[in-house]
């Protein structure tokens, strides 16, 4: 029997991410689309973020890119761009979120957080989580 938490958790996570995307109000979809494209195209160590996320998802994972205001109180120049990877590993559904901060003024992209199953990961545990996702 499937635990209700296994169904409820992904739904709540998606709703939380979607809520963050629609809080911006004043920004148009075109602005967020360009932020997503900038983050996806950013090259680090010879690989774009888009290629990294696709390799983490593998053949059986599902990738969703979303963007929204970083924080209305700080600056309208900062955008949160999230790559959410849903993947089944060893019979268990996992959700890996790579959360980037995009600065429209400087065009800078920074990986801000890595979350695995809604838990913030340290640099080392985040790297291990990403490796585990990649090793289907």
Nearest to 3 by CA among 92, 120, 95, 115: 92
Q: What are phi and psi of 37, to 5 degrees?
A: -60, -40
The pLDDT-based confidence of 83 (bands split at 50, 70, 90) is: very high
Q: Average model confidence (pLDDT) for the chain?
A: 79
Helix, coil or strand: residue 91 = coil
Beta-bridged to residue 78, according to DSSP, are: 103
Asked which of 48-52, 87-91, 118-122 is least confident by mean pLDDT, the reply is 87-91
How far is it, in rounded angstroms, from Cα 49 to Cα 41?
Answer: 6
pLDDT digits (tens, 9 = 90+) for 11-38: 444 445 444 444 444 445 566 899 999 9
The fraction of the chain above a pLDDT of 70, given in percent, is 71
Query: What pLDDT is attached to residue 135?
Result: 64
Residue 16's domain spans which residues? 4-134
Confidence (pTM): 0.71
How many structural domains comprise the chain? 1
Q: What letter would DSSP give residue 64? A: E
């Amino acid at each position: 029997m499937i635990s209700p938490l296994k169904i409820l958790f992904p739904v709540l996570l998606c709703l939380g991410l979607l809520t963050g995307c629609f809080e911006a109000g004043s920004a148009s979809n075109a602005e967020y689309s360009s932020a997503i494209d900038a983050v996806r195209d950013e090259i680090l160590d010879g690989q774009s973020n888009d290629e990294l996320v696709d390799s983490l998802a593998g053949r059986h994972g599902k990738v969703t890119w979303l963007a929204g205001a970083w924080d209305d109180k700080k600056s309208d120049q900062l955008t949160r761009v999230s790559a959410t990877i849903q993947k089944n590993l060893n019979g268990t559904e996992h959700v890996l979120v790579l959360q980037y901060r995009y600065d429209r003024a400087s065009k800078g992209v920074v990986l801000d957080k890595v979350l695995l199953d809604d838990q913030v990961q340290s640099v080392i545990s985040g790297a291990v989580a990403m490796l585990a996702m990649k090793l289907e």
